[in-house]
Amino acid sequence: MQEIRLHGRGGQGAVTSAELIAIAAINKGNYAQAFPSFGPERRGAPVVAFCRVDDKKINIRAKVYNPDVVIVLDPGLLSLLDPSEGMREGGVLILNTKKSPEALGIRAEVPFRIATVDANAIAIEEVGRPIVNTTMIGAMIRATGLIGIEDVKKPLMERFGSKLGARNLKALERAYHEVVMKE
């Protein structure tokens, strides 16, 4: 089972990202679940969303405490939390930042991989707003191989419609190609 934890702020699309990943995994023939965890429901408040993907039925109904993948949509959250908390060895931490993985100052001996992408810039250029949910899915696809771009196309177009869907797909594809990974 692959467990994913997404950190964002209300309105950035963390919950939508988890749902799109789960739908894409289900369409690919896997089992999946996605659900949020948040306090006061307001735009800008910290939000955590979770996703699980497996090739067999998932019976766990708890938050993800030991993720294989952590996705941070808002780099401002790094001063409020440790995104690597509980990460499994060999996992991947995917950050929305202009900085390269080496420039982040994360210890070289960490037991997980780091991937970075300037999702804000891509989303502004392709979607017209700094809503980075689909952009970060593109980085996740490249960093993990859990699902493919083809797997997420249909749910993305159904969620956003043809015009906005096409823009989001372009942002996703750019992030896929522009993500920088450190092993």
Give the pLDDT confidence of 82-115 residue by residue, as tens digits: 888 899 999 999 999 998 777 776 665 668 889 9
**Crossing angle (nearest 10°) for helices 119-126 and 149-178:** 110
Instruction: Tell me the pTM.
Output: 0.91
Q: Rounded to the nearest 10 degrees, what angle do helices 133-144 and 149-178 cross at?
A: 90
Most confident of the ranges 40-44, 74-78, 129-133 = 129-133
Residue 77 has pLDDT above 80, yes or no: yes
What integer pLDDT is reported at residue 82 of this predicted model? 83
State the average pLDDT for the chain: 90
**Bridge partners, 96 (sequence order):** 117
% of the chain beyond a pLDDT of 70: 92
| CATH 1.10.1740.10 is held by the domain 2-182 | no
The pLDDT of residue 80:
83
**In angstroms, rounded to a whole number, what is the distance separating the alpha carbons of residues 178 and 181?**
10
Q: What is the pLDDT of residue 99?
A: 81
CA pseudo-torsion sign 98, 20, 32, 8: positive
Q: What are phi and psi of 66, to 5 degrees?
A: -130, 75
* Domains of the chain, residue spans: 2-182
